[in-house]
Amino acid sequence: MTTATAVKLDLRPLGPHFGAEVEGLDLATATDEELAAVRAALVDRKVLFFREQSLDDDGQVALGRRLGELTASHPVVGGVDEAHPEIYALDSADNGFADVWHTDVTFMPRPPLGSILRAVILPPTGGDTSWADSQLAYDSLSAPVKELADQLTAVHDGNREFGYYLAQRRGGKGNVWDGEIVTRLEPVEHPVVRVHPETGRKGIFVNPGFTSHIVGVSEAESRAILDLLYAHLTKPEHIVRHRWRAGDVAMWDNRSTAHYANRDYGDAHRVMHRITLRGDRPFGPGRTDG
Ligand SMILES: O=C(O)CCC(=O)C(=O)O
Ligand SMILES: [Fe+2]
């Protein structure tokens, strides 16, 4: 008898709790049972790596559709080409860098649940990507700081990263998100501590890329609290770092991680293609929904 739980993936953990390489699985030909096991491992290990895969753009989109509901490429930036409105290209030749710690698209009310990233063109060396485990980071805060963080709400604002692009390159008409055309990036509020909807675990849910400030405290308090949380989130114990090879695919849970792409390869060319799985509205410890 075959059930979803009967399939066991060959996982090589990258740390005691966080990150794993999935060995011997071809994402282009994986069975439904194997993908169900991948989906479960994604929540458990938070970031998964699949070495030297053979996916092209169509294959990446097909894989994403088997794992969840795909979003448009990005709320502001269009797809890589007309045939692939779901693919967000990060191209170093077009200023596509992600060298600030962030969690994807937290400046929208419903950020993506997860992201699937494929290495398309890599520099000869460098361009590694790192992920931080926001749940491990939350768990290792002291009890009084956890209690403080649990009560806080933060504003996330995409204008610093994407406001110029929206106004100048798109003439104020962005892309589609949650069924609506994005014409302005209205700042949104999210809990500073996010409760994972599938596990109930808490994680730090602020990031330097998109969080502008904490609500209801002074500017100096907001800065100090955010700096404390960022420094803690990105401690080496909470990080895995991936050295890309051609074709590699990374898949991560945006509800429990943040990430950062090294910009250390000079003028070399680096292109990554990303798709995102539709997510729900983040909620914190004090609420049952957003
Ligand atoms: O370029 C990378 O490695 C990561 C880019 C990024 O932030 C993303 O794909 O969400
Ligand atoms: Fe990202």
Rounded to the nearest whole angstrom, what is the distance from the C-alpha of residue 93 to the centroid of ligand 1? 15
Which ligand lies nearest the alpha carbon of 119? 1
pLDDT bucket at 114, cuts 50 / 70 / 90: very high
pLDDT at 290: 47
Look at residues 117, 128, 88, 89 and name the one whose alpha carbon lies nearest to residue 265: 128
Beta carbons of 273 and 57 less than 8 angstroms apart: yes
Buried b / exposed e over 180-219, threshold 16 CB at 10 Å, is eebeebeebebbbbbbbeeeebbbbbbbbbbbbbbeeeee
Render pLDDT for 52-98 as a digit per residue (tens, 0 to 9).
Answer: 999 999 999 999 999 999 999 999 999 999 999 999 999 999 999 99
Return the bridge partners of 48, or none: 20, 251
Look at residues 137, 262, 148, 264 and name the one whose alpha carbon lies nearest to residue 214: 148
State the average pLDDT over residues 13-37.
97
What amino acid is encoded at 121 in this protein?
A: I
pLDDT at 286: 85
Taking the CA of residue 117 as reference, the ligand 1 atom at the shortest distance is: 9
Rounded to the nearest whole angstrom, what is the distance from the C-alpha of residue 285 to the centroid of ligand 1? 29
Taking the CA of residue 104 as reference, the ligand 1 atom at the shortest distance is: 10
pLDDT at 287: 63
CB atoms closer than 10 angstroms to residue 222? 19
Q: Report the distance separating Cα 179 and Cα 239, nearest Å.
A: 34
CB atoms closer than 10 angstroms to residue 21? 18
Q: Which CATH superfamily is domain 10-277 in?
A: Clavaminate synthase-like (3.60.130.10)
DSSP for 137-195, written as a single string: HHHTS-HHHHHHHHT-EEEE--HHHHHHIIIIISTT---EETTEE--S---EEEESEEE
Pocket residues for ligand 1 (CB within 6 Å)? 90, 98, 104, 115, 117, 129, 259, 261, 272, 274
Asked whether the predicted pLDDT for residue 288 surpasses 60, the reply is no
Render pLDDT for 117-168 as a digit per residue (tens, 0 to 9).
Answer: 999 999 999 999 999 999 999 999 999 999 999 999 999 999 999 999 999 9
Beta carbons of 267 and 95 less than 8 angstroms apart: no
State the average pLDDT over residues 105-128.
98
Mutate to test the pocket of ligand 1, among 117, 118, 277 (most ligand atoms within 8 A of CB): 117
Q: Report the distance separating Cα 97 and Cα 7, nearest Å.
A: 37
pLDDT at 160: 94
Render pLDDT for 179-207 as a digit per residue (tens, 0 to 9).
Answer: 999 999 999 999 999 999 999 999 999 99
Beta carbons of 39 and 73 less than 8 angstroms apart: no
Beta carbons of 100 and 208 less than 8 angstroms apart: yes
Rounded to the nearest whole angstrom, what is the distance from the C-alpha of residue 261 to the centroid of ligand 2? 8
Q: How far is CA 4 from the centre of its chain?
A: 25
Nearest CA to ligand 1 atom 1: 261
pLDDT above 90 coverage of the chain, percent = 96
Taking the CA of residue 274 as reference, the ligand 1 atom at the shortest distance is: 9
Domain ranges across the chain = 10-277
Rounded to the nearest whole angstrom, what is the distance from the C-alpha of residue 3 to the centroid of ligand 1? 34
Mutate to test the pocket of ligand 1, among 254, 274, 275, 277 (most ligand atoms within 8 A of CB): 274
pLDDT at 6: 72
Which residues are part of the catalytic machinery?
102, 104, 259, 274
Picking from 18-32, 86-100, 276-290, which range would have the lowest pLDDT averaged per residue? 276-290
